[in-house]
Chains A and B, each alone.
Chain A
Amino acid sequence: MAVSLTKGGNVSLSKEAPNLKEILVGLGWDARSTDGSDFDLDASLFMLGENGKVRSDADFIFYNNLRSSDGSVEHTGDNRTGVGEGDDEAIKVDLAKVPANVSRLSVSVTIHEAESRRQNFGMVSNAFIRIVNQADNREIARYDLSEDASVETAMIFGEVYRSGAEWKFKAVGQGYKGGLGPLARNFGVNA
């Protein structure tokens, strides 16, 4: 039974799934049921050091940079409508391969062309982030944003982080103004 988190809550992935090696970070949302432009949500992952910044621009994993240079993080690709059951976008992480000087993996979602399409997260239904154990496809933790979805166009959904020898997951649910560019710069990317 997966742990269901609320905003700010965290869970030890290592305790929930002993011998955890590879995880899948799944993100989903409902396709737009009303008329108008589709909701095109893009997932990104920032590999952050102790200082909360990327070590280099290569640590910014997104639709134009699907794999980290060390191979520990792999984005499975872009979904442009949210159509279909389950995860709409997913990022695979081989925890064992994550370099020691990366202490946090921050997972964000931005709305593509949100400004011109006049969209925000509050208009998107049933957005979630979940952590799945790749070894047995079991869902370890899940965070449904629902009421926490902000009226901003970028959101930090959650983060996977080191806590001593363990890996933990935290439900962040924090909106960020301005979209992917400002968010990336906030994490030290030269975007």
Chain B
Amino acid sequence: MEIVRGQKLKLRDVAASSEFEVAIDVDGGCAVDTSCFGLDGDGRLSDSRYFIFRGQPESPCSSITRNGSGSFSLNLSTLPSEVRKIVFVVTVDGEGGMSSIGQGRVRILVDGDERLVFPFFGRDFPSERAVMAVELYFKDVWRIAAIGQGFSGGLRAVLDHFGGDEMPVPPPPLKVILSKVTLEKRGESKRIDLSKRDSPAPVHINLQWDEAEGGKRGLWGRLSGRASAVDLDLGCMYRMKNGDCGVVQPLGDSFGSKSSAPYIFLDKDDRTGAASDGENMYVYRPDDIDLMVIFAMIYEGTAEFSSVNGRVTLRDGRDFEIVVPLNNPDGGHRFCAVARVERDGNGVRITKDEMYFAGHRECDSHYGFGFNWKVCRK
């Protein structure tokens, strides 16, 4: 059965079962994402756990499960009675608007058998970046309504629409780690396919460590001016695909650049927000890298790597998060080549090295960059 925008039906006239699948797809034009909101009788998202999206793919009752982009499994018989409306939303991922999709459709399937289809059209959404496609709602019985209306403000506007002022805790932004791994042992590696990366965010490399006396070094420690027993520096040696080589590190004020080569930037002064902990470096064009060696260095203090519990995390806030703990410390050395990032087809491979050297020169000669080293102080 095909329905049009504005049409309403009793769900039982479509699917006798309380278990079914809601599938959403679009023909193209722009990348889209799908999410679903379980609302109370007033149409409010009074329980943010019923915002079902990539980062929260299942409701607490397991009655709504997001199987992947565009597919939701529902079981209305186990849904708590507080949830009276379930709205399925299509949002534009990245640039563009819903006007470019051509055609999309929402289908209701029971055991894979299509029972209902609601086609929607890009021409109906001149400025919209988020569209409420269909809603299931309870009024005497469960019903389905073809909505096909939305907001140019995207998902944020949808949340406002369902939440208003009464929403207790705004649900998290679309920050979803698809791949989260810890490289425990030397030689372990993880490949990131950059061609499939759907986040334009730079790769964020973060170095954290604990204070020698055991207290974790944090924002407060920095703000209060408390003397830190340990000062670790984060840096990298790189060779780009075009052959350019260099070093990004605090030493010699070689902080790199966000907007010009090497598009690697050491944010020494970022002491705000979520990135306030530790040292932070950003790689804006990971696809230009041929080889990059991420290193950590103990510059001052009496501490050694064996007492600081160092760890490096690479993440782009969305597609991957790779933790490299420094769990094989070598007491004698203050320079650690933590991991190397190498070109690997359409992506990069990140391999844990955790090799300890006397200094830059020894590290360089191991990896073969061929730099000219001179003595320098911060």
Contact = CB atoms under 8 A, between A and B. Distances in A.
Interface residues of B, number: 24
Question: Looking at A32, A120, A147, A149, which has the most chain B CB atoms within 10 Å of its CB?
Answer: A147
A18 interface: no
Interface size class on chain A is 10 to 19
B131 to A, nearest CB: 9
A136 interface: no
Interface string A145-179: 01101110000000000000000000000000000
B143 A122 contact: no
Interface of B: 4-8, 123-124, 126-128, 132, 139, 143, 145-153, 157, 161
Contacts, number: 48
A32 B152 CA distance: 14
A35 interface: yes
B150 A35 contact: yes
Contacts of A151: 4-7
Contacts of B151: 34-35
A122 B150 contact: no
Interface string A110-140: 0000000010111100000000000000000
B5 A35 contact: no
B39 to A, nearest CB: 13
Contacts of B4: 120, 122, 151
16 contacts: A32-B149, A35-B128, A35-B149, A35-B151, A36-B126, A36-B128, A118-B124, A120-B5, A120-B6, A122-B4, A122-B6, A122-B146, A123-B148, A147-B143, A149-B6, A151-B4
Interface in A91-113: none
Contacts of A34: 132, 149-151, 161
A33 interface: yes
B139 A35 contact: no
B150 A121 contact: no
